Amino acid sequence: MNPYEHKHLRFTYQASIVDFDFPNGWWYPSCPKCNKKLSGGEKNYTCMDHDAITSLPVPWFRLECIVTDGEDVTNFLIFGKTAENFFGSSAHHYVYDKKFIDPSVLPPAMAAKLNKSMIFQLRFGAFRSITNRCEVIITNIFDDTTNKSIHPLETPTPEPKSSATSKTSTPLSSMK
């Protein structure tokens, strides 16, 4: 799928997260007003939009998920509210309440999400010239309750709905 032609398209993909890649930590200090990453140190945090901040920074999720569909491996990016919904808690809760202050140490509740088949709703993000790749951003995650393996090159035919209120059915589509 060409990211330039499908920049605003959302698509789904069945895969499992096998690991998290977080060389810069699984959370970062963000601006309390806009959630952008803060620059400076603990005593001198600055937001590029709001200058110096006067309150505590807000911990904000940002992780690269290493995923596989059983045939290929790639990375998806998860951050912010999507990560909060997936992990069942905010980064603020993990950092300040549960005391997982070190961003290089993954909390056990987050590690428990590994190696489970899920359906990912995705979109293309920014193109990174350093890696010559376009980010693939997770916008939602669903438990895979189908209990069947879908070959990534297949697009299943939607089954007709018997409900009179259901008007659409969205088949899984692959990103290959």
DSSP 3-state of 126: strand
Residue 57 lies in a domain: no
pLDDT at res. 35? 87
pLDDT at res. 156? 46
DSSP 3-state of 107: coil
Residue 46 lies in a domain: no
- Residue 175 has, within 13 A of its CA and on its CB side, a CA count of 29
pLDDT at res. 70? 93
The count of structural domains within the chain is 1
Residue 45 lies in a domain: no
Return the number of other C-beta atoms located less than 10 Å from residue 165's C-beta: 5
Residue 136 lies in a domain: yes
Return the number of other C-beta atoms located less than 10 Å from residue 95's C-beta: 21
Residue 53 lies in a domain: no
DSSP state of 153: T
Residue 76 lies in a domain: yes
CATH of the domain at 117: 2.40.50.140
| Residue 141 in this model has a pLDDT that exceeds 80 | yes
Residue 126 lies in a domain: yes
- The pLDDT tens digits for 93-109 are 999 999 999 999 999 99
- The pLDDT tens digits for 150-162 are 444 444 444 444 4
| Residue 81 structural domain | 11-25+62-143
User: Which runs of consecutive H residues, i.e. helices, occur in the chain?
Assistant: 80-87, 91-92, 108-111
Return the number of other C-beta atoms located less than 10 Å from residue 133's C-beta: 13
pTM of the predicted model as reported, rounded to 2 decimal places: 0.75
Highest mean pLDDT among 35-49, 53-67, 148-162: 53-67
